[in-house]
């Protein structure tokens, strides 16, 4: 269901882009301002493209909201696994893991010689 709606959403987006690009630019826009003798020069065609743009934009927004709701409901975690939060691993101090002090001139640095492997 989600994949089907996603494909329909992509088709609606492509149709919306196509309808917007077919419209004549009234303010000049990025192009040369349009050619009055072009394919869609009649006022009836302009009204149809304006109406089609608003209908496709409305469907696009509604489909976006539906897909977002389906994505959070179907693909979200149903339960949270808390089994890792309840276990704690005690780390025993060993002589190899004891911090050592190194003095060099005026500074003193504290470090560890080796890492302690955690029990699994």
Per residue in 26-38, pLDDT (tens digit) is 655 445 555 555 5
User: Does residue 7 fall inside a structural domain?
Assistant: yes
Look up the domain containing 67 and give its range: 1-20+44-78
- Please give the tally of structural domains in the chain: 1
Q: 63 lies in a domain?
A: yes
- Of 114, 21, 4, nearest to 63 by C-alpha is 4
The packing angle between helices 2-22 and 43-75, to 10°, is 160
2-11, 31-40, 41-50, 72-81: which range is least confident on average? Answer: 31-40
Which has the higher per-residue pLDDT, 91 or 11? Answer: 11
With respect to residue 117, please indicate whether it lies within any of the assigned structural domains. Answer: no
* First-last CA distance in the chain: 42
Whether 95 is covered by a domain: the verdict is no
Q: Is residue 111 part of a domain?
A: no
């Amino acid at each position: 269901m989600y994949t089907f709606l996603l494909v329909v959403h992509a088709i609606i987006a492509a149709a919306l882009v196509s309808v917007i690009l077919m419209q004549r630019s009234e303010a000049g826009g990025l192009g040369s301002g349009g050619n009055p003798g072009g394919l869609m020069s009649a006022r009836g065609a302009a009204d149809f493209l304006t109406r089609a743009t608003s209908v496709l934009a409305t469907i696009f927004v509604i489909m976006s909201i539906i897909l977002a709701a389906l994505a959070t409901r179907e693909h979200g975690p149903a339960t949270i696994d808390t089994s890792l939060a309840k276990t704690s691993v005690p780390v025993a101090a060993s002589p190899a893991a004891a911090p050592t002090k190194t003095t060099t001139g005026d500074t003193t640095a504290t470090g560890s010689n080796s890492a302690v492997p955690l029990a699994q």
